[in-house]
């Protein structure tokens, strides 16, 4: 049997618009019948998707490796596990999530009963990025299906082997009027954005997020935007340095730093900068072996393509030309998009590496002594997707958390907020809009419909003619019943 990985040459560059429109129309009518779908029916679909993750594990490894040399254990942790976890969580809780939530009447609404019903939004579009191609496509798909929707999924064209494999998986386990993959690049994406979807779930850069939101506005389509940006780290002098280095080395260099919530730049208290760099060196050697042999370590993946390799190398070059030092890593001559795990110090404040989202294995270190000053600097930038703080001093931690804003945070760790199924995952302003994961993901793909049932309320007393008792009652209600 030929696999998706072998078939990749057949993948179209842009989708056939006629097929896309046929799919959309078919899904519109299917979505109507799915309004009455039961928890058991939805759970059966989630189980199919979960099973595919196990049945296709070897193909997923191959596709991720072909796209950016992603190591199999990292595929397990960051592609397969999150999808299986999302599915398991939804399967466990879906019945409860689907139940209408009863609401107690307020004084003014005495004599009514009320509930919030979570109804499916309808036909949903999921547009995903390349950096966790399977996870960030099938994760939202779990939430969309749990909420009873139909879905068109547009994966990234930059990870074509994964896109082709997902197309094959979806064709295998779903009817296309329920779930379909539409492959293609920018033109395909923009054509899809012109259709009147009921919800768009987009994961990608803030720049494209704005394009998506503008297109959605044309149809007043609701959006969830999972975006990116520069996620700061603060390492206080009270931090457990070895622990901070270990957790940051993993958080930063897993997936080669191509993670939306990767630590982007780091404030380290001046008193501990030298020992922190030494601890990072040790932590990296422990995780990925000796620096000189890291290039051949199969656990260390690659930059996705030449364009991004050139971009990340350009950030390092710009910083070093402005006087930055490279205490660890750098860019050896090579032809396979390898950049060593790199630390930068003495970085000029105007360097591009401190301005643009790095999205690669480069970590600039900025020493600090004045906490208020760095809080001010963080608040002067667009709100980040993640902010990490390492300290033993609880007052310090509390100060950082209360005086900054971020999509999510970890204290004394990095990245693990993504794996907590009971927490919302999302950004704020420039880093995103709305949430995903677990119950929050289910809500993103549901419309919360308010339903009031009249029994014996006093609302008839508001009806005209507005004279005598009615006038008195309106004033009474405004003062005492509102």
Ligand X SMILES: NC(=O)c1ccc[n+]([C@@H]2O[C@H](COP(=O)([O-])OP(=O)(O)OC[C@H]3O[C@@H](n4cnc5c(N)ncnc54)[C@H](O)[C@@H]3O)[C@@H](O)[C@H]2O)c1
Contacting positions for ligand X (CB under 6 A)? 127-131, 136, 154, 156-157, 185-186, 189-190, 203-205, 208, 211, 226-228, 260, 357, 359, 385, 427, 432
What's the min distance (Å) between Cβ of 63 and ligand X?
A: 16
* Residue 237 token pair: 């002098």
Whether residue 145 contacts residue 179, with contact meaning beta carbons closer than 8 Å, is answered with yes
What's the min distance (Å) between Cβ of 463 and ligand X?
A: 50
> In this complex, which beta carbon is closest to ligand X, that of residue 59 or of residue 131?
131
Q: Which of 260, 301, 357, 410 is catalytic?
A: 260
Whether residue 155 contacts residue 162, with contact meaning beta carbons closer than 8 Å, is answered with yes
Beta strands in 162-231 (DSSP E): 179-181, 199-203, 222-226
> In this complex, which beta carbon is closest to ligand X, that of residue 143 or of residue 320?
143
Q: Which residue has the tokens 């759970």?
A: 43
Over the Cα atoms of the chain, what is R_g? 25
Whether residue 321 contacts residue 314, with contact meaning beta carbons closer than 8 Å, is answered with no
Task: Give strand pairing partners of 362.
Answer: 342
Task: Give strand pairing partners of 390.
Answer: 235
The sheet carrying 432-433 orders its strands as: 179-181, 150-154, 123-127, 199-203, 222-226, 432-433
Residues 6+ apart with CB under 8 A from 25: none
What's the min distance (Å) between Cβ of 127 and ligand X?
A: 5
What's the min distance (Å) between Cβ of 114 and ligand X?
A: 34
Please tell me whether residue 199 adopts helix, strand or coil conformation: strand
Angle at 79 between CA 155 and CA 252, to 5 degrees: 105
What's the min distance (Å) between Cβ of 193 and ligand X?
A: 6
Beta strands in 70-111 (DSSP E): 101-103
What's the min distance (Å) between Cβ of 186 and ligand X?
A: 4
> In this complex, which beta carbon is closest to ligand X, that of residue 227 or of residue 324?
227
* Residue 245 token pair: 């280095």
Give Cα 307 to chain centroid, integer Å: 23
> In this complex, which beta carbon is closest to ligand X, that of residue 307 or of residue 475?
307
Say how far apart CA 216 and CA 208 lie, in whole Å.
Answer: 12
What's the min distance (Å) between Cβ of 136 and ligand X?
A: 6
* Residue 308 token pair: 């991004």
With b for 16 or more beta-carbon neighbours within 10 A and e for fewer, the 387-404 pattern comes to bbbbbeeeebbebbeeeb
Q: At what angle do helices 81-98 and 135-146 cross, to 10 degrees?
A: 10
> In this complex, which beta carbon is closest to ligand X, that of residue 167 or of residue 357?
357
What's the min distance (Å) between Cβ of 134 and ligand X?
A: 12
* Residue 3 token pair: 């696999």
Report the first-to-last Cα separation within the chain, whole angstroms. Answer: 69
Please tell me whether residue 222 adopts helix, strand or coil conformation: strand
260 is catalytic: yes
> In this complex, which beta carbon is closest to ligand X, that of residue 82 or of residue 204?
204
Helix (H) or strand (E) holding 39: helix 39-55
58 is catalytic: no
Q: Which of 226, 301, 357, 410 is catalytic?
A: 226
Say how far apart CA 273 and CA 115 lie, in whole Å.
Answer: 56
Say how far apart CA 126 and CA 399 lie, in whole Å.
Answer: 37
> In this complex, which beta carbon is closest to ligand X, that of residue 178 or of residue 226?
226
Residue 338 burial (10 A CB sphere; 0-12, 13-18, 19+): buried
Output the CA torsion sign for 158, 227, 301, 421.
Answer: negative
> In this complex, which beta carbon is closest to ligand X, that of residue 19 or of residue 99?
19
What's the min distance (Å) between Cβ of 226 and ligand X?
A: 3
> In this complex, which beta carbon is closest to ligand X, that of residue 148 or of residue 184?
184
Residue nearest to ligand X (CB): 228
Catalytic residue numbers read: 226, 260
């Amino acid at each position: 049997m030929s696999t998706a990985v072998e078939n990749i040459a057949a993948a179209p560059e842009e989708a056939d618009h006629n097929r896309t429109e046929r799919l959309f129309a078919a899904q519109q009518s299917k979505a109507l019948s799915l309004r009455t779908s039961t928890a058991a029916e939805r759970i059966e679909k989630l189980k199919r998707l979960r099973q595919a993750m196990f049945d296709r594990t070897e193909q997923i490894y191959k596709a991720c490796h072909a796209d950016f040399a992603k190591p199999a254990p990292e595929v397990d942790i960051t592609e397969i596990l999150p999808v299986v976890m999302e599915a398991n969580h939804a399967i466990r809780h879906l019945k409860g999530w689907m139940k209408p939530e009863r609401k107690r009447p307020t004084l003014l609404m005495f004599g009514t009963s009320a509930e919030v019903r979570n109804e499916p939004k309808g036909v949903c579009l999921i547009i995903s990025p390349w950096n966790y191609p399977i996870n960030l496509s099938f994760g939202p798909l779990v939430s969309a299906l749990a909420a009873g929707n139909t879905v068109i999924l547009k994966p990234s064209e930059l990870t074509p082997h994964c896109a082709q494999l997902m197309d094959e998986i979806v064709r295998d386990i779903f009817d296309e009027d329920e779930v379909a993959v539409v492959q293609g690049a920018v033109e395909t994406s923009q054509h899809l954005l012109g259709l009147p979807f009921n919800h768009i779930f987009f994961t990608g850069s803030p720049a494209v997020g704005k394009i998506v939101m503008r297109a959605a506005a044309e149809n007043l389509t609701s959006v969830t935007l999972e975006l990116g940006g520069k996620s700061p780290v603060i390492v206080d002098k009270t931090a457990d340095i070895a622990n901070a280095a270990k957790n940051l080395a993993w958080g930063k260099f897993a997936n080669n730093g191509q993670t939306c919530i990767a630590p982007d730049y780091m404030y380290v208290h001046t008193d501990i900068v030298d020992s922190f760099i030494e601890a990072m060196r040790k932590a990296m050697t422990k995780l990925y072996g000796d620096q000189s042999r890291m290039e051949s370590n199969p656990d260390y993946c690659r930059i996705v393509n030449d364009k991004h390799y050139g971009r990340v190398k350009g950030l390092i070059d710009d910083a070093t030309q402005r006087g930055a030092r490279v205490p660890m890593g750098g860019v050896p001559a090579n032809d396979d998009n390898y950049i060593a795990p790199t630390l930068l110090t003495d970085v000029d404040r105007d360097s591009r590496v401190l301005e643009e989202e790095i999205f690669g294995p480069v970590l600039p270190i900025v020493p600090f002594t004045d906490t208020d000053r760095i809080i001010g600097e963080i608040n002067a930038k667009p709100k980040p997707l993640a902010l990490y703080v390492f300290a033993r001093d609880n007052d310090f931690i509390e100060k950082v958390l209360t005086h900054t804003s971020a999509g999510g945070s970890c204290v004394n760790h990095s990245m693990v907020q993504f794996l907590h199924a009971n927490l919302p995952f999302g950004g704020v302003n420039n880093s995103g809009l709305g949430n995903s994961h677990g119950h929050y993901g289910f809500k993103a793909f549901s419309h919360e419909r308010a339903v009031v049932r009249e029994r014996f309320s006093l609302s008839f007393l508001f009806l005209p003619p507005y004279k005598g008792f009615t006038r008195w009652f309106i004033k009474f209600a405004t003062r005492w019943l509102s």
